[in-house]
Chains A and B, each alone.
Chain A
Amino acid sequence: MDENTPILQVDGLNTTFYRNGSALAALRDISFSVARGEVLGLVGESGSGKSVTLRSIIGLARRYGDVTGAVRWQGRDLVGMADRALRQIQGREIAMIFQEPMTSLNPLLTVGLQLEETLRAHTDLSRTARRDRATEMLDLVGIPSASQRLKDYPHQFSGGMRQRVMIAIALAANPKLLLADEPTTALDVTIQAQILDLILQLAQDLDMGVLMVTHDLGVVAQTCDNVAVMYAGRIVEQGPVRDVLREPRHPYTVGLMRSVPENLPPRSPLYSIPGVPPGLDALPVGCAFAPRCASCIAPCSQDRPTLSLITEGRQVACFNPIATSQGNAA
């Protein structure tokens, strides 16, 4: 297969939740694709819809609200797929790991059982073969004396080790795409790098696409090939990581980058984007970022800018994008 043929193609994905009678537009018109072996980052503030995007792709969100649009997985649409058929893809072809290793493993079951049940659902392996495979997986993610630790419960592992266990479970059935929902946010900084390296290494070894959700631009810079910046349920900017980070075009991306404290003298005030994101039940008519935007111009509050191609591979949804300044690092 051609390197650039997308395995996942998300097209016009909308997700709506209903709370106390009002509709929350959690996702609107999300479109992107992930190629085999590609690492795509989704960044944005809390509540921008990164997590919901992953949960909409893998079929968790539809239990809680309406999901429309298309999620094409190797030619099949997952959005309208029956639960039974979807289960053949969940965990087997597309796997997901969660943010909180403390709460994402069942506290009452041994990690061995939680690993083996995935294998049991998705492979024809015998009981002993499953045990061997489970040991192999724990070993692969770097858990010492793996075969003995199968009998242990999640609370007997440290946070970083638990995240490794979760990765082992997710990858047990050899998925082609990994959805990683802020996999390092809950971990110590030193452990973060280890886990990211592990994910990247495994993705490369197993030729697996990764959709990495994070609010940390540093993580994006280190790990991703391409990045999509999300704001209030929409993608506002998208492109190759190097280009986007070197030359952000959307004012929100610029704001996000300025919020990362870097090369600052001690005790200088930290920058944060003024204001707060709009509520999803009361989105502004025009651009959702307009009320907080320094580059806001007249049409911004009336019309919503669509995500459109501005240069090769770069898409921005803005009426007044930041001008390029060739050669200047952001």
Chain B
Amino acid sequence: MSSLNYIFKRLLLMVPTFFLVMVIIFMLVRMLPGDPAIAMAGDRASDADIQAIRERLGLTEPMLVQFWLFLSNTVQGDLGRSILMRTDVIDVIADRLPITVFLTVYSVVLSLLIAGPLAFVAALNRGRWPDAVIRTIFQIGLSMPVFYIGLVLLTFLAAQLRLFPVGGYGDTFGEKLYHLFLPSVTVALYTSAIIMRNLRSAIIEVLDAEYVQFARAKGLPSRLILGRHVLRNALISTVTLLGLSIGNLMSGTLVTETVFAVPGMGRLMLEAIFARDYPLIQGLTLTFAVLVSLVFLMTDLFQSRLDPRMRLQ
């Protein structure tokens, strides 16, 4: 089967997934304590005002009707109007999505740049001091909460040394790289610790594999052995781990975007929850679900490129 065919099939399989996601989103939002109509109307609104808002939002309809409306509107790309922003949810999300995607990709790239070389150094020096030093530092990194690392970096590098901006986003690609460096590093430190541990043990395992012994016995240059034979095989489990931790990474942006005042989807989500902005919460959750599913799909595709045994017949 061609990979296009496969992608199409996988996308088709996402339909039931998203239906379930939407059921869960719909239920969860309606189980939240608090009434959005009251929140919207403000403290001094009369009962009649509140009732009017309820009707306008369709909250007076029976649950099933509400769900049907939610479902059919969503399929047509209408995620409703944000109570908080007073614009269409889809526009708000379209506005914030690129920022969070940029931040996440940036974090992944930084994690790999940090974890990759260090995992190699640690694995090749297994049991000796470089290994011990690297593992200890990452152990400390793993045991510190993300927001704490973020705050430390922020106060030290941005507020005191003024090396980086304390917030904001930037317009050009270069500016974005600069503005989002600290938030990305904050997320990346945690992720790279996980990747480093996994990659290190994967490399150690692969280094002792018979096919690496065979490659050595063939008299191949070390570079080639490490790059072609060791790294590729070690990456298989690490790519899986990275794909699985993308959910974590995204919830990480919730915290870092707030700490670093980055106007992305994570921060928007927090604001939406505090404002009981049902349509926005629903839209954001759905977007996160779509993103995570796409990442899983990409992970699988990359995996099958890497490992011929996983190519799908």
Query: Within B297-313, which residues are at the interface with A (CB < 8 Å)?
Result: 306-309
Q: Chain A's nearest CB lies how many Å from the CB of B124?
A: 11
Q: Chain B's nearest CB lies how many Å from the CB of A66?
A: 16
Q: Which residues of B contact A91 (CB under 8 A)?
A: 217-220
Q: Which residues of B contact A88 (CB under 8 A)?
A: 219
Q: Which residues of A contact B213 (CB under 8 A)?
A: 55, 60, 98, 104
Given the interface pairs A96-B214, A98-B213, A103-B210, the reply to whether A108 lies near B307 with Cβ below 8 Å is yes
Contact (Cβ within 8 A) B214 A98 = yes
Query: Within A93-129, which residues are at the interface with B (CB < 8 Å)?
Result: 95-96, 98, 100, 103-109, 117-118, 121-122
Contact (Cβ within 8 A) B210 A100 = yes
Q: Which 5 A-B pairs have the closest CB atoms?
A: A90-B219, A91-B219, A91-B218, A96-B217, A153-B308
Contact (Cβ within 8 A) B216 A60 = yes
Q: Which residues of A contact B215 (CB under 8 A)?
A: 106
CA distance A224 to B35 in the complex (A): 88
Residues of B within 8 A of A (CB): 209-211, 213-222, 224, 228-229, 232-233, 306-309
30 A/B residue pairs, CB under 8 Å, sorted by A: A58-B217, A60-B216, A83-B222, A90-B218, A90-B219, A91-B218, A92-B219, A95-B217, A96-B214, A100-B210, A103-B209, A103-B210, A104-B213, A106-B211, A106-B229, A107-B309, A108-B233, A108-B306, A109-B229, A117-B218, A117-B220, A118-B218, A118-B220, A121-B218, A121-B219, A153-B309, A155-B309, A166-B214, A169-B218, A179-B217
Q: Chain B's nearest CB lies how many Å from the CB of A170?
A: 8
Q: Chain B's nearest CB lies how many Å from the CB of A57?
A: 10
Q: Which residues of A contact B307 (CB under 8 A)?
A: 107-108
Q: Chain A's nearest CB lies how many Å from the CB of B232?
A: 5
Residues of A within 8 A of B (CB): 55, 58-60, 83, 86-92, 95-96, 98, 100, 103-109, 117-118, 121-122, 153, 155, 166, 169-170, 179
Q: Which residues of A contact B308 (CB under 8 A)?
A: 107-108, 153, 155
Q: Which residues of A contact B216 (CB under 8 A)?
A: 59-60, 90
Contact (Cβ within 8 A) A104 B210 = yes
Which chain B residue has the least Cβ–Cβ distance from A153?
B308
Given the interface pairs A100-B210, A103-B211, the reply to whether A109 lies near B228 with Cβ below 8 Å is yes
Q: Which residues of B contact A96 (CB under 8 A)?
A: 214, 217
Which chain A residue has the least Cβ–Cβ distance from B306?
A108
Q: Which residues of A contact B224 (CB under 8 A)?
A: 117, 121
Task: Name which of A100, A108, A155, A169 has the most chain B CB atoms within 10 A of its CB.
Answer: A108
Which chain B residue has the least Cβ–Cβ distance from A105?
B211
Partner pick for B220 among A87, A95, A105, CB 8 A cutoff: A87
Q: Chain A's nearest CB lies how many Å from the CB of B212?
A: 8
Given the interface pairs A107-B309, A108-B232, A153-B309, the reply to whether A90 lies near B211 with Cβ below 8 Å is no
Q: Chain A's nearest CB lies how many Å from the CB of B311?
A: 9
Q: Chain A's nearest CB lies how many Å from the CB of B307?
A: 6
CA distance A98 to B229 in the complex (A): 17
Given the interface pairs A106-B215, A108-B233, A108-B308, the reply to whether A98 lies near B220 with Cβ below 8 Å is no
Which chain B residue has the least Cβ–Cβ distance from A88?
B219
Q: Which residues of B contact A92 (CB under 8 A)?
A: 219
CA distance A55 to B213 in the complex (A): 9
Given the interface pairs A108-B308, A153-B308, A155-B308, the reply to whether A122 lies near B214 with Cβ below 8 Å is no
CA distance A107 to B230 in the complex (A): 11
- A107-B308, A117-B224 given. 16 additional CB < 8 A pairs? A58-B217, A60-B213, A86-B219, A87-B221, A91-B219, A95-B218, A98-B210, A100-B210, A108-B233, A108-B308, A117-B220, A117-B228, A121-B220, A155-B308, A166-B214, A179-B217
Q: Which residues of A contact B309 (CB under 8 A)?
A: 107, 153, 155
Q: Which residues of B contact A121 (CB under 8 A)?
A: 218-221, 224
Q: Which residues of B contact A89 (CB under 8 A)?
A: 219
Q: Chain A's nearest CB lies how many Å from the CB of B11?
A: 27
Which chain B residue has the least Cβ–Cβ distance from A96?
B217
Which chain B residue has the least Cβ–Cβ distance from A109?
B228
CA distance A105 to B215 in the complex (A): 9
Q: Chain A's nearest CB lies how many Å from the CB of B59?
A: 55
CA distance A153 to B305 in the complex (A): 13
CA distance A95 to B219 in the complex (A): 9
Q: Which residues of A contact B233 (CB under 8 A)?
A: 106-108
Q: Which residues of A contact B214 (CB under 8 A)?
A: 96, 98, 104-106, 166, 169
Q: Which residues of B contact A155 (CB under 8 A)?
A: 308-309
Q: Which residues of A contact B229 (CB under 8 A)?
A: 106, 109
CA distance A60 to B228 in the complex (A): 19
Given the interface pairs A153-B308, A155-B308, A155-B309, the reply to whether A107 lies near B211 with Cβ below 8 Å is yes
CA distance A58 to B214 in the complex (A): 11
Q: Chain A's nearest CB lies how many Å from the CB of B255?
A: 37
Which chain B residue has the least Cβ–Cβ distance from A63?
B216
Q: Which residues of B contact A86 (CB under 8 A)?
A: 219
Contact (Cβ within 8 A) B219 A122 = yes
Q: Chain B's nearest CB lies how many Å from the CB of A19?
A: 12
Task: Name which of B217, B232, B306 has the most chain A CB atoms within 10 A of its CB.
Answer: B217
Q: Which residues of B contact A169 (CB under 8 A)?
A: 214, 218
Which chain B residue has the least Cβ–Cβ distance from A54?
B217
CA distance A166 to B213 in the complex (A): 13
CA distance A160 to B308 in the complex (A): 20
Q: Which residues of B contact A106 (CB under 8 A)?
A: 211, 214-215, 229, 233
Q: Chain B's nearest CB lies how many Å from the CB of A110?
A: 8
